[in-house]
Amino acid sequence: MTVIIAGAGIGGLTTALMCHARGIPCVIYEAAREVREVGVGINVLPHAIRELAGLGLLPALDKVGVRTRKLTYLTRQGQEVWSELRGMHAGHEVPQFSIHRGRLQKAIHDAVIDRLGPGAIRTGRRLAGFVQDEAGVTAHFTDAAEGGAGETVRGEVLICADGIHSAGRRVFYPNEGAPSWQGVVMWRGAAEWPVWEDGESMAIGGGLGGKFVLYPIAPATGKTQLMNWVVNVRIKDPAVSTPPPDNWSRQAPLANVLPHALRFHVPGMDIAGLVRATPAIYEYPMADRDPLPRWTFGRVTLLGDAAHPMYPVGSNGASQAILDARCLADALAGAEHPRAALWAYEKERLPKTADVVRTNRVGGPERVIDAVEKLAPAGFRDIDKVLSHEDRKAIVGGYAAMAGFSQVRRAS
């Protein structure tokens, strides 16, 4: 069996490693002309790190990422709503990582090249269409540089891991249109900055209508560390305005974000200074898509953001793509027929990821901040009198259970 994968993001690359580990040949076709370290910070949860650890990637992640120790939820004014240990500090057998998205992608990419060979990733190849028959699927990739001949390839299955604007998804759902947007704009950036707190912890201040996210994404070098930040603010009415262009690499001027950033307070952090020191600020609409009734059509299926793009809440975007990859590779290795494998994968993963998409829309675990801010908009003296510890725990712990990372099995 040969597996054709469209997209060399975290989902597609991990799928390739998982297939290779099970003796299943595969080739990745990536639209970008080269795989560059694009993006800023991302978190990967223990249940997904367990899968990367099983692929032998922990040493590579330790070189470039941070093992997350603690997560604190704050009100916009900086009052603590909830704090919890994360990863191994919380008893998991593997860490949570806070990491630069591009460096995570590169770590997985390098492993693919190392194990599958340099020909395993064909760059500058954009999925344009496919046909399938009883014996296999034929996929056509155009030359992304335009002008070249493109490439037509035959395999047993096609995995569309081609992101939120998936060409594969568009074939099956031609009338779906643009991603769904509720008026929230995200500004993201990272700057070298004096180590904050213990250099391993993250903070999220504010809820759905406006929040500030802060965490380090690289090991400290001396007294400084690459510090990632995100400001999310609902600034537009989606009924009357169109979202800004959803290009992950689009930069915005400081003046767009600074007034919003100044609305937040995180103890011990000079937010305005950090934002001002950031060399490149990226603007992106917070968007997702409705869960689909099905991902699999014969020998073709969807994976990662192509299947279930979600709000970047609760650290699940990359994590769920990695879990998809493990499940799909297991199914391909175990099933009698490729079509049965794709169905088994969908049956396992579609309902779980649909739950995460829906829960993230209403704030995910960060709902706990919304709940407290609603009850005590001017702040509080005693958080337990605003919302009991049990009630706060139910919101945060309920999300962890739903997203599948409240318990982690040993890496296998």
Q: Which of residues 17, 42, 94, 371 is near ligand FAD by CB under 6 A?
A: 42
In DSSP terms, 131 is beta-bridged to: 138
Instruction: Write the interaction track for ligand FAD spanning residues 64-103; mark x where CB under 6 A is met and - where it is not.
Output: -------------------------------------x--
Question: Between β-strands 300-302 and 157-160, what pairing exists: parallel, antiparallel or unpaired?
Answer: parallel
Q: Which of residues 87, 124, 189, 312 is near ligand FAD by CB under 6 A?
A: 312
Alpha-carbon distances, residue 290 vs 95, 135, 179, 314 (angstroms)? 31, 32, 8, 18
Q: Which of residues 46, 285, 317, 365 is near ligand FAD by CB under 6 A?
A: 317
For residue 304, state whether it binds ligand FAD (rule: CB under 6 A).
yes
Complex with ligand FAD: residue 1 or 32, whichever CB lies closer: 32
Q: Which of residues 21, 38, 195, 252 is near ligand FAD by CB under 6 A?
A: 38
Complex with ligand FAD: residue 243 or 304, whichever CB lies closer: 304
For residue 341, state whether it binds ligand FAD (rule: CB under 6 A).
no
For residue 12, state whether it binds ligand FAD (rule: CB under 6 A).
yes
- Which of the stretches 86-94, 310-318, 379-387, 390-398 binds ligand FAD when contact is defined by CB under 6 A? 310-318
Write down the least CB distance from residue 19 to ligand FAD, Å. 15
Amino acid at 220: A
Radius of gyration, alpha carbons of the chain: 21
DSSP string across 228-257? EEEEEEE-S-TTTSPPPP--TT-B--HHHH
Q: The tokens of 274 are what?
A: 């950090």
For residue 202, state whether it binds ligand FAD (rule: CB under 6 A).
no
State which of positions 138-177 bind ligand FAD (CB under 6 A). Answer: 161-163, 167
For residue 30, state whether it binds ligand FAD (rule: CB under 6 A).
yes
Q: The tokens of 145 are what?
A: 């540089």
For residue 29, state whether it binds ligand FAD (rule: CB under 6 A).
yes
Candidates 364, 362, 43, 396; CA nearest to 182 is: 362
DSSP string across 320-376? HHHHHHHHHHHHHHH-SSHHHHHHHHHHHHHHHHHHHHHHHHTTGGGHHHHHHHHH-
- Which of the stretches 39-47, 50-58, 148-156, 286-294 binds ligand FAD when contact is defined by CB under 6 A? 39-47
Cβ–Cβ under 8 Å, residues 339 and 299: yes
Edge-to-edge strand list for the sheet holding 157-160:
121-123, 26-30, 3-6, 157-160, 300-302
Write down the least CB distance from residue 63 to ligand FAD, Å. 19
Size of the site for ligand FAD (CB under 6 A): 31
Q: The tokens of 214 are what?
A: 């802060």
Binding site for ligand FAD (CB under 6 A): 6-12, 29-32, 38-40, 42, 101, 126-127, 161-163, 167, 188, 248-249, 304-305, 312, 317-318, 321
